[in-house]
Amino acid sequence: MFLINCPYCGEREQSEFKAGGEAHIIRPKQPTELSDDQWAEYLFMRKNIKGIQFERWVHTHGCRKWFNVVRDTSNDIIKAVYKMGEKPPIK
Amino acid sequence: MTKNLRVKTSKFIDETYKISFKFNGTTYYGYKGDTLASALLANNIHLVGRSFKYHRPRGIMTAGSEEPNAIVQLHKNSSRTEPNVRATEVEIYEGLEATSQNCWPNVNFDIGGINNILSPILPAGFYYKTFMWPANFWEKYEYFIRKSAGLGKSPTMPDPDIYEHKYIHCDILVIGAGISGIMAAKTAAQNGFKTLLVDEKPYLGGSTIYQNSEHFKINNQISSSWLDKEINEIKKFENLEIKTRTSVAAFHGYNFLLARENLTDHIPLEQRNNKTRQRLLKIRAKKVITATGALERPLIFDNNDRPGILLSSAIEKYTNLFGVACGEKNVLFTNNDSAYETAISLYQKGINIEAIIDNREEIDSKLIKEIEKNNIKIYKGYTVVDTSGYKRINKISIMQLSKDGQKVIGSKTSISCDCLGISGGWTPAVHLFTQSGGKLKFRDEDQVFIPDKYPSNQISIGSCNGDFTLDEILSNITNKLKEFLNIKKTDYENLEIYSSFNKSKRNIWLLPSDKIIGKTKPFVDYQNDATAKDIKLALREGFRSIEHVKRYTTTGMGTDQGKLGNMHALGIISETAGSKMGELGTTTFRPPYTPLTFGTIVGRNVGEYFDVFRKTPIHDWHVKNKAEFENVGQWKRAWYYPKDGENMYDAVQRESKAARDSAGILDASTLGKIDIQGTDASEFLNRVYTNAWSKLAIGKCRYGLMLNEDGMVYDDGVTTRLGENHYIMTTTTGGAATVLGKLEDYLQTEWPELDVYLTSVTDHYATVSVCGPNSKKIVSQVIPDLDFSDENFPHMSFKNTKIDKIKCRVMRISFTGEHSYEINVQANYGKSVWEKCMEAGKEFNITPYGTETMHLLRAEKGFIIVGQDTDATMTPIDLQMDWIVSKKKYDFIGKRSLYRSDTIRDDRKQLVGLLTENPDEVLEEGAQIVADIKKSPVEMLGHVTSSYYSPNLKKSIALGVVRGGKNMMGQKLIIPMENKQINVIVADPVFLDKENKRLNA
Ligand SMILES: [Zn+2]
């Protein structure tokens, strides 16, 4: 079970959080302008990386805030956490 | 048969404290300090069970938690009986009762033993190959397989014991209290770290603590004496907690570990009441030091599984620690020096050793010299090729090994014996290390896997790290601890170590035999009866991956997870397939290391604490009025209120009729309520609902449908505009939390520019819903000051008002199609408002109704229930709810998905009404719907989602989803049931009051 450093509350058990999938997928501003394929790209396509992955987490049983996590999926080590809207601190 | 094989007083055994216990119905005696295994061995009992597949007689093989054979059923008492307990771990107490498993009628005569004779036709994968055909015979096979298989019996009564969960946070966790663990724990504690030391055994000191040999000394003291002093010292540290009888079950990432602490399993049953039996420790350690030791390997040769064959190290432990001889005519068979330590222990206690078989040809060490000095015959360069003795070994046959170790040569020699100790070298216990995500590397010189890459802040020390000799262990430990704990020095800098152990080993995974492989039974996995032959067969049949071979042959899949034989399985695969051990990898060791009881896993979360449940403020009234309850999410909701012995059907018919004829009352407090405030609240609602919200006047209510981004219906409910920038949203009972979560997600991540605040207020309000033609009369009695005229208080509007000075919100909204009001009041006034309505409604026969009647009433009106009539594949268009989807709005969640090529198909499943040809026939929910029963295969068009007998329409009504159903109005379809076909006509889903006249009646 991970320890996750919530940017608002500090380090907490993973059981307080929920994962929310890949980060930095921006909802299109004008969905109606998109073709089926373009919309499907946004809606369905997600990466599943072995290695460094950028993902969204929410502190469900805490501050209820969403934030981003950089996690190495091969060993679950969390490299960084940062707030929504911020740039990833590592590439 | 019974004999006393107790040889000499051991300081671990209290011979003044005699204990009686029963095994298979016979009473035996042992001493305090004995395990069930040591006490049985002292009584000369080796045969304790039957193997799983061939039902071969099996004896005690080990002296620890790795035991594959000696697994027993404990306690006759049906509530405490426990299967699959390792006799080697059970500490005896007065009154202990144990029985053998896997045998019928008894361990000495077992009918399943016929499988042993049939074994040539029971190869690996036999069950997979045979019983899969013909498929419909499976049920018949299953009966017999289940009867003859299975390990032990589960209890039939509730567990009377108490279990607990406990969280522990420490700086350093040390797993294993052998010599390495003791040294590590002392060093950590000395340096101020909050330290926890755990060991699965009841005593500290591991296998060093019972070494009495002059050949192993530390600072000129026998190793056990030196360690004894260290143990006494560590007990003095206040920052060091020591837990014995505590087995680490799981080592997860981020140094999170689970351990089971046994508190009462070693005391008599009558003393256990009201005490905690086992504790699940949830340990979060900053650093972990694994010192779990090593497990001795068996040797793989024909008939290596007979009772009386033990690991050599187990014989040493029974001799030194328990003071028990495992036999009177002992033979040891080894490929390394360890067996000579055992031999010396036996010799010191005056136990006879017939011979030692060593597969090495040229050997020399101080240990061996001492044995030879005492005229014990050593067969060098020999191997055991066979054993005999059905229920106890009585003879072995040995032959000389060829130079390359691939063949046997010369003639056979027989040696009679009643006990054979085998030693195939050592396997580091890396199970926990690999569980934590650690990567192993293979060390060629002695053919072991050792820790390579640590995934977290941890180290392995001692023999679990591949340091097997005393000097290796002690000389490596100091530097490792200094580096890991970041300290300058330890107490162990200049130890004088004297060790006579020679590390040479002749590793042969499968020892050669004079017989061909098909004719022998060299067991690799004792518990699951997998032999080397099975593994070779699997390879011949094309299995290559170790994980596949494991599953096909069941090697390593017993309750012991193949702790003894996994390495040999790998070795045999690598030799047969010609691949390198290091490249083959190992199978995954999964938690728990040793089996856990269910009690430990659930702890105190049993009975009413098993899951959280929520009660409305009116719950007590429902209980008092004999409501039956149903679980909706975590809520207990009143389901129906049976009167005078009514069944559910009758109660629901009565309730449904009363609600439409006069008045009904429903506790709707469980509906999710989200308070929405902020200057952008209207814009926010516009984006999350399919319909338009900007123009909703203050004081008005509106029904809304929420979609997922994929266009599928997600939730629904009525939202009321309380003020310019203030709304209250209701959600489905089950969806409240996920809706709030989803809305928060969009607010925080997609639309942070919106000024909107969400607060869950579900628990803050009680909601009393009064419906029916007389609802207005009732509610206006409860709230006399409010003007209930249709002009002042029309349908879909709300009023702030008071009942006896208590503020409340009244909404005129309806889920039943009747004229109805929902009174929302601060939760703690809920019950009194409910009672006021009941009192005022008396003259109108106001009838409390539950969720079942609510479902029936809304089905009459064709209102959907999200999750019942929808299943995350239904768009609003599929639901024939086009009217609620705004054409004007530029965007809302899910809008774009409503015209994807897939969602605009005409032949999607669509919600329709279904009327049975016979109006008294009620459909089964979930029943399949077809058009042409003769077509092969029959095409399934959809299924029934809601179905009731409507007392108000006096006919059966149903909702269902049907492919292309929208265009099938009036068409006949068929519901095929097991014994009949039911004809239905596709109809409008709104069955009652299509003009909505009743809302204003
Ligand atoms: Zn937080």
Give the nearest partner residue to B748 out of A1, A34, A66, using CB atoms. Answer: A66
Strand partners, B395: B388, B416
Between the CA of A12 and the centroid of ligand 1 the distance, in Å, is 8
pLDDT in tens, B416-457: 999 999 999 999 999 999 999 999 999 999 999 999 999 999
Alpha helices by DSSP H, listed for B191-257, are 223-234
Residue A89 falls within a domain, yes or no? no
B748 to chain A, minimum CA–CA distance in Å? 7
Rg (CA), chain A: 15
Alpha helices by DSSP H, listed for B662-711, are 681-688
Contact criterion met (CB < 8 Å) for B900 and A40: yes
Residue B118's pLDDT band (cuts 50, 70, 90): low
B591 to chain A, minimum CA–CA distance in Å? 14
| Interface ipTM | 0.97
Q: What is the CATH number of the domain that holds A47?
A: 3.30.2270.10
pTM: 0.89
Contact criterion met (CB < 8 Å) for B741 and A40: no
Contact indicator for B854, B815 with CB cutoff of 8 Å:
yes
Residue A24 falls within a domain, yes or no? yes
Rounded distance between C-alpha atoms, residue B115 and residue B448, angstroms: 35
Between the CA of A66 and the centroid of ligand 1 the distance, in Å, is 8
* Chain A CA closest to residue B747: A66
Among A25, A59, A76, A82, the strongest candidate for a mutation testing the B interface, having the largest count of B CBs within 10 A, is: A76
Residue B1000's pLDDT band (cuts 50, 70, 90): confident
Mean pLDDT of B449-466: 96
Q: Which residue has the higher pLDDT, B259 or B2?
A: B259
* Sheet hosting strand B221-222, strand order edge to edge: B221-222, B216-218, B497-499
Residue B127's pLDDT band (cuts 50, 70, 90): low
B265 to chain A, minimum CA–CA distance in Å? 29
Query: In order of start, what are the domains of chain B with their CATH numbers?
Result: 1-153 (3.10.20.440), 162-292+428-499 (3.50.50.60), 305-391+416-424 (3.50.50.60), 509-593 (1.10.10.1100), 666-857 (3.30.1360.120), 897-1000 (2.40.30.110)
Contact criterion met (CB < 8 Å) for B895 and A60: no
Mean pLDDT of B649-659: 98
Between the CA of A26 and the centroid of ligand 1 the distance, in Å, is 23
Residue B76's pLDDT band (cuts 50, 70, 90): confident
Torsion of CA B828, B831, B836, B840, to 10 degrees: 150
Residue A88 falls within a domain, yes or no? no
Contacts of A69 in chain B (CB under 8 A): none
Taking 80 as the threshold, does the pLDDT of residue B107 lie above it? no
Average pLDDT, chain B: 93
Contact criterion met (CB < 8 Å) for B253 and A31: no
Mean pLDDT of B633-640: 96
Q: State the pLDDT at residue B580.
A: 87
Chains A & B: contacts with CB separation below 8 Å: 53
Give the nearest partner residue to A43 out of B254, B709, B749, using CB atoms. Answer: B709
Give the nearest partner residue to A84 out of B256, B437, B752, using CB atoms. Answer: B752
Rg (CA), chain B: 37
- Tell which residue, B621, B730, B758, B721, has the closest CA to residue B668: B730
Q: Which residue has the higher pLDDT, B245 or B583?
A: B245
Contact criterion met (CB < 8 Å) for A40 and B750: no
Mean pLDDT of B311-328: 96
Q: Which residue has the higher pLDDT, B58 or B135?
A: B58
Rounded distance between C-alpha atoms, residue B400 and residue B402, angstroms: 7
Taking 60 as the threshold, does the pLDDT of residue B998 lie above it? yes
Contact criterion met (CB < 8 Å) for A66 and B891: no
Residue A91 falls within a domain, yes or no? no
Mean pLDDT of B7-23: 89
Between the CA of A62 and the centroid of ligand 1 the distance, in Å, is 5
Q: State the pLDDT at residue B1.
A: 45
- Residue type at position B588: T
Between the CA of B416 and the centroid of ligand 1 the distance, in Å, is 71
pLDDT in tens, B863-889: 999 999 999 999 999 999 999 999 999
Contact indicator for B799, B786 with CB cutoff of 8 Å:
yes
Contact criterion met (CB < 8 Å) for B900 and A30: no
- Tell which residue, A62, A54, A61, A60, has the closest CA to residue A84: A54
Preceding omega of B134 cis (within 30 degrees of 0)? yes
Mean pLDDT of B455-484: 95
* Chain A CA closest to residue B285: A3
Give the nearest partner residue to A1 out of B256, B710, B890, using CB atoms. Answer: B256
- Helix, strand or coil for residue A7? coil
Between the CA of A60 and the centroid of ligand 1 the distance, in Å, is 8
| Lowest mean per-residue pLDDT among B292-296, B418-422, B525-529 | B525-529
Between the CA of B277 and the centroid of ligand 1 the distance, in Å, is 36
Q: State the pLDDT at residue B77.
A: 75
Q: State the pLDDT at residue B117.
A: 65
Contact criterion met (CB < 8 Å) for A2 and B752: no
| Lowest mean per-residue pLDDT among B1-15, B109-123, B768-782 | B109-123
Q: State the pLDDT at residue B562.
A: 85
What number of H helices and E strands is found in chain A?
1, 6
Number of domains in chain A: 1
Residue B850's pLDDT band (cuts 50, 70, 90): very high
Rounded distance between C-alpha atoms, residue B214 and residue B370, angstroms: 11
| Lowest mean per-residue pLDDT among B209-223, B301-315, B938-952 | B209-223
Query: For residue B541, what are the CA distances in angstroms to B125, B536, B552, B581, B587?
Result: 10, 9, 10, 20, 20
Contact criterion met (CB < 8 Å) for A76 and B254: yes
Percent of chain B scored above 90 by pLDDT? 83
Residue-number span of the structural domain to which A52 is assigned: 3-83
Q: What is the pLDDT along chain A (91 residues), one digit of tens a residue?
A: 899 999 999 999 999 999 999 999 999 999 999 999 999 999 999 999 999 999 999 999 999 999 999 999 998 999 999 999 999 998 7
Q: State the pLDDT at residue B967.
A: 95
Q: State the pLDDT at residue B557.
A: 82
Residues of B with CB under 8 A from a CB of A: 252-254, 256, 284, 437, 455, 709-710, 741, 744-745, 748-750, 752, 890-891, 895-897, 900-901
Q: State the pLDDT at residue B996.
A: 94
* Chain A CA closest to residue B456: A77
* Chain B CA closest to residue A42: B709
Give the nearest partner residue to A32 out of B709, B710, B891, using CB atoms. Answer: B891
Mean pLDDT of B132-161: 68
Contact criterion met (CB < 8 Å) for B253 and A30: no
Give the nearest partner residue to A1 out of B253, B748, B900, using CB atoms. Answer: B253
The 8-class DSSP code of residue A46 comes to: -
- Given CB atoms, is A19 within the 8 Å cutoff of chain B? no
Contact criterion met (CB < 8 Å) for A32 and B896: yes
